[in-house]
């Protein structure tokens, strides 16, 4: 479940970092290759971390929520590139993905079948 926590932190702080890029002279990070690379990393982490929750709990809601957030991110990258609202909607998709990881983590911590060490921490 540490992958869920890692993805949640990534999805929560990356939009803040991207908003601050021009102030640090790093506006080049606001490019399609960075968007798609981050999407690929987020997708891999989401698939890997939600697999455990589904296999153990048979609850597909956290994975479905993550999928919805990833669809919002892809839709934003494809349809709103350059629009004023692009980063806000993309960040909303990241928050949805992060929320799915927190939900997945909570479900695993509350489940007796998971047998997570340290009580799910």
| Residue among 92, 97, 75 nearest 15 (CA) | 92
23 domain residue, yes or no: no
85 domain residue, yes or no: yes
12 domain residue, yes or no: yes
42 domain residue, yes or no: yes
DSSP 19-54: HHGGGGT-GGGSSHHHHHHHHHHHHHHHHHHHHHHH
Looking at the structure of the chain, the number of domains it has is 1
The pLDDT of residue 96: 94
108 domain residue, yes or no: yes
80 domain residue, yes or no: yes
The pLDDT of residue 118: 53
* pLDDT for residue 66 is more than 90: yes
- Owning domain of residue 108: 2-18+29-120
More confident residue, 27 or 80: 80
More confident residue, 75 or 113: 75
92 domain residue, yes or no: yes
The pLDDT of residue 93: 93
More confident residue, 88 or 10: 88
24 domain residue, yes or no: no
> With bands split at pLDDT 50, 70 and 90, how would you rate the model's confidence at 114?
low
């Amino acid at each position: 479940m540490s992958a869920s926590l890692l993805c949640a932190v990534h999805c929560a702080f990356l939009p803040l970092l991207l908003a601050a890029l021009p102030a640090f002279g790093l506006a080049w990070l606001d490019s399609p290759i960075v968007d798609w690379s981050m999407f690929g990393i987020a997708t891999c982490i989401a698939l890997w971390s939600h697999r455990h929750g589904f296999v153990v709990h048979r609850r597909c809601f956290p994975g479905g929520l993550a999928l919805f957030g990833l669809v919002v991110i892809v839709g934003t990258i494809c349809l709103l590139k350059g629009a004023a609202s692009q980063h806000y909607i993309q960040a909303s998709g990241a928050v949805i993905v992060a929320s799915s990881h927190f939900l997945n983590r909570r479900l695993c911590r509350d489940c007796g079948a998971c047998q997570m060490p340290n009580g799910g921490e």
